[in-house]
Amino acid sequence: MVKTTLSVIKADIGSLAGHHVAPPQLLDVARQELAKAKREGLIEDFYVTRVGDDLELIMTHRKGEESEEIHTLAWETFKRAADVARGLGLYGAGQDLLSDAFSGNLRGMGPGYAEIEIEERPAEPVVVFMADKTEPGAFNLPVFRMFADPFNTAGLVIAPKLHRGFTFEVMDVHEGKVVELSTPEEMYDLLALIGSPERYVIRRVYTREEPRDVAAAVSTTRLNLIAGKYVGKDDPVAIVRAQSKFPALGEVLEPFAFPHLVAGWMRGSHNGPLMPVGEADARPSRFDGPPRVVALGFNVKDSKLIGPSDLFADVAFERARRLANEIADYMRRHGPFMPHRLGPGEMEYTTLPQVLEKLKDRFREA
């Protein structure tokens, strides 16, 4: 049977009025490039959108994961869009493309991506999550809840196909290693790791029921230490399969009704609530945030994308948004204090070394 690959590839290649929103001109370029690739038979289908300042390419094809052709297509598309961004004088043009438009932090080592290669079920529902002003570890809590928390996912308790649980592949971003843990048996070990989302990040989830099948993938492409500095604060994307032997659509979305605190707000150096929004509201502006997440639901059929449905546009997520705004007010009142500001090792910007250097002769024994 022919397999289908779903590739979600994203990059911040420039935005309007600050780190705010990728304008329609960039989406137009991306649509033109991907329409050409579809005509030429390189990809089967595509959907282009933006979440905040991140340009998102959602593509189906038959080239498998980590395909050079597909990644080249994405890179060339981003490069063309970056040229347009430069022409328009957009902020951070080419930010994620190792270009000359370096905006003052070590981020910008390359685009992020999540991919799954699947044998399509007769009905193949998938959810594509895309977030801005945060990092891949932001998905730890919701993905854990989808696949391991019986208070979130009723199916773990009452659906025979889910009852054995799932296997999580977790990446230690400091060591560049991965480990697999299966729930429910190893739930506490798993939580001991992923409760530190800046270091341990869920990268993939698999069924335990045979045949082992991929259930979810999170972009962790830039998660590594370069020259002793963590450069993984990359706005992430994730793909989650739904229904049948996977959690139901509503079980996949339910964790986002709680706007949990994530790292990456303002200058990549603050914690804030992750606000679930529809595509139209993925335009973070308050203190460059608060962090946003969009969820698009598709069905994949014969490698074509049916949909999407803009899942967080549902009025049922309004309370989560209101709560996120209240949490944002509360967190903002801490100003430069932790835990609103991130700890010293995690900030993308810091003046601490300069301040310590300046004051070194003035420090005396206490």
Number of residues in contact with Mg ion, rule: CB under 5 A?
A: 8
Among 10, 48, 61, 92, indicate the residue that binds Mg ion (CB under 5 A): 92
Residue among 10, 12, 54, 91 flagged as catalytic: 12
Q: Which stretch binds ligand 13P (CB under 6 A): 140-148, 150-158, 249-257, 261-269?
A: 261-269
Taking the C-alpha atoms of residue 36 and residue 22, their distance in angstroms, rounded to an integer, is 21
Q: Which stretch binds ligand 13P (CB under 6 A): 148-156, 174-182, 193-201, 264-272?
A: 264-272
Q: Which residues are CB-contacts of 129 (< 8 A; sequence separation ≥ 6)? A: 139, 237, 238, 239, 240, 293, 294, 295
Q: Which ranges of the chain would DSSP assign to H, the alpha helix?
A: 24-39, 68-88, 140-148, 155-158, 187-194, 249-253, 265-268, 318-332, 352-359
- Does 80 sit near ligand 13P (CB under 6 A)? no
Closest residue to ligand 13P, Cβ-based? 288
Q: Which residues are CB-contacts of 131 (< 8 A; sequence separation ≥ 6)? A: 51, 138, 139, 235, 236, 237, 274, 291, 292, 293, 294
Residue 28 catalytic?
Answer: no
Among 117, 124, 235, 251, indicate the residue that binds ligand 13P (CB under 6 A): 235
State the number of CA atoms in the 13 A half-sphere of 284 facing the CB.
33
Among 288, 297, 298, 341, indicate the residue that binds ligand 13P (CB under 6 A): 288
To 10 degrees, what angle do helices 24-39 and 68-88 make? Answer: 150
Could you tell which of ligand 13P, Mg ion, none binds residue 310, using a CB distance below 5 to 8 A set by kind? none
State the number of CA atoms in the 13 A half-sphere of 241 facing the CB.
26
Could you tell which of Mg ion, ligand 13P, none binds residue 268, using a CB distance below 5 to 8 A set by kind? ligand 13P
Residue 177 catalytic?
Answer: no
Comparing CB distances to ligand 13P, the nearer of 195 and 343 is 343
Residue 12 catalytic?
Answer: yes
Return residues touching ligand 13P (CB under 6 A).
12, 19, 52-53, 103-104, 132-133, 235, 266-268, 288
| Active centre residues (catalytic) | 12, 230, 233
